[in-house]
Structure 1
Amino acid sequence: MNARTNQESPYQGRLLIDGQWCDAADGARLERRSPAHDQLVAVYAQAGVQDAQRAVAAARRAFDQGPWPQMKGAERARILRQVADAILVRKQALARMESLENGKPLAQSLAEIEGAADLWQYAASLARTLHGDSYNTLGQATLGVVLREPIGVVGIITPWNFPFLIVSQKLPFALAAGCTCVVKPAEVTSGTTLMLGEILLEAGVPAGAVNMLVGEGSVVGEALVTHPDVDMLSFTGSTAVGKQALAQSAATLKKVALELGGKNPQIIFADCDWEAAVDAVVYGVFFNAGQCCNSGSRILVQDAIAEKFSAAVVERSRHVRVGDPFAEGTQVGAITTHKQLASILAHIEGARRDGAQLALGGARMNRPGLYIEPTVLTGVTRDMAIAKQEVFGPVLSVLRFGTLAEAIELANSTLYGLSAAVWSRDFDTCLTAARRIRAGTVWVNTFLEGHAELPFGGYRESGIGRELGRLATEDYTETKTLHMHLGARADWYLAQA
């Protein structure tokens, strides 16, 4: 594939099936325009059901007959490290494509690409350390061995908010375990995933071990979810779509891992580090234009400081720089799609009807592109939809609490449980809250930090399973027990005579 990522020509993307770049069987194509500039930035072959079936068949052959599952862990690790190195070599082109399609500031895209390369390096280390167990305590005539084997063909469906990072939270760990994969990126941000496909082939990933399809979720995604030859589904996206995928997968009883939505609280106690907390709140809700499952979209502020703290957040938010993703100093770029922009504005209008006060922003910006003003809503109460529903945009809801017990109860009052933060100088307060909040990640006096070594995932409607961490590859395996008998075996028939 001849990847073109210069400013003059749109990127030309094709499907990757069985090691070959190809057009869709029916010749369908789709176009992607930049949300920041409304310019054509990519043209893709658009996969249909027939293409999805071909890709799954290729992955099935590559798993059942190909070399990838049979390779030594050290050999898989070597290839994964080469992928990581190549990502860093191409990070400028990858980041530029990410910003063109997603609308996020270029500096943030660069950081995302670099972080993704680290995930490939970490997955390489796990390829060599994945192992089973042995049991020699079952008696002198018995030896038990538990093997970990790759689960098989994995369907990977990724969203548009962090296209390269999220595919890198899944694909390298599945490959490290010895699985083969079919990847479907979000159709509006497919460029960097296809560029990754080029890197994989150059690094020596065998034909069919990774296949990539650009297409609509209702067509290609559903084909992967329901296909009997797909042994596992790894999906990141909205809770609503995740529920649909889980229900559709039931017919084949495939394993399903879901990373879904969140309505993540930052709990601000009166004794917090004031400047650090204000900065973290503003960063937490406006990073990636709020299009982040971990977005700190609601803050719970203790009554004693609620008015003053809210005012400080509003004032700091006034100075957040919204603009062209390629302009130096831009902190918030464009909203990724027209549909998402309309959804955000509808959430804001609904909050106002429910009685929340608009302290800042609340409208689309009067400029070309899909831009929205940083928005802060005060006077929000727990019964309002804006306090419970994921907005997925640069909209902050401010709620109040009195005691530690009230803060914990309020933090746990939504159906989500992805992440949270606690801000206090008192260790007992922080640890008590962190242990009682039902969320997969709780930050203490910081927010939105992540490391490859630490598991990521949520409670309740925020998903099923965990990504990253030292057990990440195990999620892509099955366990097999070998029960071995040593020496002569007692004859059951004679024993009963």
Structure 2
Amino acid sequence: MTQTTGQTFDAINPATGQAFRTLPDANMDDAVAVIARARRAFDEGLWPGMSYAERGIYLKKIAQLIREHAKELADLEVADVGKTIKHANFIDVPTAADCFEYFSSVSMDDMENAVAAPVASHTVYEPRGVITAICAYNYPLIYAAWKIAPAIITGNTVILKPSPLAAATIHRLGELLPATGLPEGVVNVITTTSDEVAAKLVRCSKVDMVSFTGGTETGKKVMAEAAKKAKKVVLELGGKSPNIVFADCRLEAALGGALSAIFINQGQMCTAGSRLFVQDELHDEFVKRLVDRARTLKIGNPADATTEFGPLTSREQRDRLLQTIARAREEGATVACGGRAPDGDGYFLEPTILTDVTNDMAVAREECFGPVLSVIRFRTEEEAVAMANDSRYGLAGCVWTQDEQKASRVARALKVGTVWINTYGNFFNEAPFGGMKQSGFGCELGTEGLKEYVQAKHVCIDKTPGGMPLAASWF
């Protein structure tokens, strides 16, 4: 399932800065070989012709495989990404397994869009072919599940390329998959540090579709490469999600939600609630209590079950965020807490809350992808919505209020793909997840996500009495 090459690269544990595993570093020959394997499995193999029920059996086996190797995969996520073991155990591993379980029982066969006689008409949904799936480094196992499961249940074959910053878990998953009996070439994992190899997986004419999760600028490059062959692309990109707290919120719930929205996984989430809009009359109290809570988060070894806050995944990301914080200070923001890299090994950054931020500052406009929260005051509902929408991103947003009508109005007004009301970060396999504006297009999960991986074909049979269809008698 994985490529073989003489070249390797080190997987680095961000908590120590030390290598913990060696992974294959694929070259161009490996890319050509893996594309050919996936193409052959689709064009000549049995997989596309199987029924949804038959393919679903394999997805159930993959779900069970993930559960059986839960500890190993969780430990790899911790070592590879820097997320806490609590996070890996309670979110990453079960979410990935549940995703395969969910898609194992779905089908497009019932969606026929039939038309009444005298023309018998129906729609069939066929697999697109070979899918290149590229995953970001913050949730490798979950993203792998989100992309593999809907792609293969619909009959496609997949080439899965993780980020070189966090490739160990997906590489191991690729090693484990043959135990399910999955046919050769249906899922192919390739790890590489080469941008040119990655580009080959996107632009090759033998690849029919690309599903990409990652940064917006990289996503634009992926789209440009895919456009050369006019192939379908699904992009889940960056975000600068607004988290709007009204004065009539349930205070404790909103405080907990604001904290988790930015500091879970060290803020390395495309949906992170990195812009916190707090209504004037609540602002000072809310910020004080939020800062007090942030200062109590236990920073340390993410493999320790008591740790609440681990390192960032790379040194480059940590250093870039330090520069972001410095620039925010220069533009007039106040560091209410955090803002420093603790002494010692690893790529740690303290949970950081910035106040006196305005919506036009760089820190409020560009995705930080880390534990840096910008707190922005607002007076009215209209002002909050206007500032929330004043962004090139549109991935997610949140509203905290006890007024249901207000919550509904704001939810409709926000130009984002997902809105949470009085909660944050809930994802369901049954519900679509996707962005607006420069946060991407297309969906993951749910029926909408499933449809991304199929091509609709209309089949029409004329049953006009006497066997003389209109098309044959027009002239």
Q: What is the identity, as a one-letter code, of the residue corresponding to 1:105? A: T
Aligned to 1:255: 232
Aligned to 1:11: none
The equivalent position to 1:72 in structure 2, one of 45, 51, 59, is: 51
Q: Is the 8 A contact 1:281 1:296 kept in 2?
A: yes
Structure 1 residues 109 and 484 mapped into 2: Cα distance closer, same or farther (>3 Å)?
same
The equivalent position to 1:93 in structure 2, one of 63, 72, 82, is: 72
Aligned to 1:201: 178
The equivalent position to 2:36 in structure 1, one of 57, 60, 71, is: 57
The answer to whether residue 453 in structure 2 is matched with residue 476 in structure 1 is: yes
Mapped to 2, the partners of 1:294 and 1:440 lie a distance apart of 10
SS in 2 for 1:108: helix
Gaps of 5+ in 2: none
Aligned to 1:224: 201
Aligned to 1:366: 343
Aligned to 2:399: 422
Deviation readout 1:245-279 (Å, 9 max, x if unpaired): 11111111110000000001110100110111111
How many Å apart are 1:481 and its aligned residue?
A: 1.2
Segment drifting more, 260-269 vs 214-223: 214-223
Identity of aligned residues (%): 37
The equivalent position to 2:266 in structure 1, one of 267, 275, 289, is: 289
The equivalent position to 1:125 in structure 2, one of 105, 130, 147, is: 105
Mapped to 2, the partners of 1:368 and 1:475 lie a distance apart of 43
Aligned to 2:301: 324
Aligned to 2:96: 116
Q: Is the 8 A contact 2:84 2:308 kept in 1?
A: yes
The equivalent position to 1:162 in structure 2, one of 129, 132, 139, is: 139
Structure 1 residues 354 and 439 mapped into 2: Cα distance closer, same or farther (>3 Å)?
same
Q: What is the identity, as a one-letter code, of the residue corresponding to 2:215? A: S
The equivalent position to 1:213 in structure 2, one of 185, 190, 213, is: 190
Q: What is the identity, as a one-letter code, of the residue corresponding to 1:59? A: A
Q: Is the 8 A contact 2:83 2:309 kept in 1?
A: yes
Q: What is the identity, as a one-letter code, of the residue corresponding to 2:35? A: V
Gaps of 5+ in 1: 1-15
SS in 2 for 1:167: helix
Aligned to 1:464: 441
Q: Is the 8 A contact 1:131 1:147 kept in 2?
A: no
Mapped to 2, the partners of 1:315 and 1:84 lie a distance apart of 40
Q: Is the 8 A contact 1:301 1:398 kept in 2?
A: yes
Deviation readout 1:382-431 (Å, 9 max, x if unpaired): 11011111001111100011011011101101100111110011111111
Aligned to 1:13: none
Deviation readout 1:443-474 (Å, 9 max, x if unpaired): 00011111111111111011111111123221
The normalised TM-score by structure 2 is: 0.97
Structure 1 residues 290 and 130 mapped into 2: Cα distance closer, same or farther (>3 Å)?
farther
After TM superposition, the structure 1 = structure 2 runs for residues 353-432 of structure 1, keeping only pairs within 5 Å, are 353-432=330-409
Mapped to 2, the partners of 1:284 and 1:492 lie a distance apart of 59
After TM superposition, the structure 1 = structure 2 runs for residues 24-43 of structure 1, keeping only pairs within 5 Å, are 24=5, 27-43=6-22
Mapped to 1, the partners of 2:407 and 2:222 lie a distance apart of 37
Aligned to 2:83: 104
How many Å apart are 1:302 and its aligned residue?
A: 0.4
Q: Is the 8 A contact 1:363 1:373 kept in 2?
A: yes
Mapped to 2, the partners of 1:410 and 1:257 lie a distance apart of 28
Aligned to 2:242: 265
Structure 1 residues 68 and 379 mapped into 2: Cα distance closer, same or farther (>3 Å)?
same
Mapped to 1, the partners of 2:397 and 2:373 lie a distance apart of 14
Mapped to 2, the partners of 1:366 and 1:495 lie a distance apart of 83
SS in 2 for 1:258: strand
Q: What is the identity, as a one-letter code, of the residue corresponding to 1:125? A: S
Mapped to 2, the partners of 1:285 and 1:492 lie a distance apart of 61
Mapped to 2, the partners of 1:193 and 1:271 lie a distance apart of 44
Structure 1 residues 77 and 349 mapped into 2: Cα distance closer, same or farther (>3 Å)?
same
Structure 1 residues 309 and 154 mapped into 2: Cα distance closer, same or farther (>3 Å)?
same
RMSD: 1.4
Structure 1 residues 495 and 170 mapped into 2: Cα distance closer, same or farther (>3 Å)?
closer
Mapped to 1, the partners of 2:13 and 2:472 lie a distance apart of 76
Aligned to 2:4: 23
Q: Is the 8 A contact 1:184 1:220 kept in 2?
A: no
Segment drifting more, 484-493 vs 305-314: 484-493
Structure 1 residues 22 and 262 mapped into 2: Cα distance closer, same or farther (>3 Å)?
closer
Q: Is the 8 A contact 1:156 1:233 kept in 2?
A: yes
Alignment size in residue pairs: 472
Mapped to 2, the partners of 1:98 and 1:202 lie a distance apart of 21
How many Å apart are 1:483 and its aligned residue?
A: 1.3
Deviation readout 1:113-164 (Å, 9 max, x if unpaired): 11110000011111x4544415342x42x21121100000000000110000
SS in 2 for 1:470: helix
SS in 2 for 1:376: strand
The answer to whether residue 431 in structure 2 is matched with residue 439 in structure 1 is: no
Q: What is the identity, as a one-letter code, of the residue corresponding to 1:255? A: K
Structure 1 residues 132 and 353 mapped into 2: Cα distance closer, same or farther (>3 Å)?
same
How many Å apart are 1:327 and its aligned residue?
A: 1.4
Q: Is the 8 A contact 2:27 2:194 kept in 1?
A: no
Q: What is the identity, as a one-letter code, of the residue corresponding to 2:375? A: V
Q: Is the 8 A contact 2:328 2:363 kept in 1?
A: yes
Structure 1 residues 430 and 494 mapped into 2: Cα distance closer, same or farther (>3 Å)?
closer
Structure 1 residues 42 and 133 mapped into 2: Cα distance closer, same or farther (>3 Å)?
same
Mapped to 1, the partners of 2:94 and 2:145 lie a distance apart of 11
Structure 1 residues 269 and 495 mapped into 2: Cα distance closer, same or farther (>3 Å)?
closer
How many Å apart are 1:217 and its aligned residue?
A: 5.4
Mapped to 2, the partners of 1:171 and 1:456 lie a distance apart of 16
Aligned to 1:3: none
Q: What is the identity, as a one-letter code, of the residue corresponding to 1:104? A: K
Q: Is the 8 A contact 1:157 1:183 kept in 2?
A: yes
The equivalent position to 2:252 in structure 1, one of 238, 252, 275, is: 275
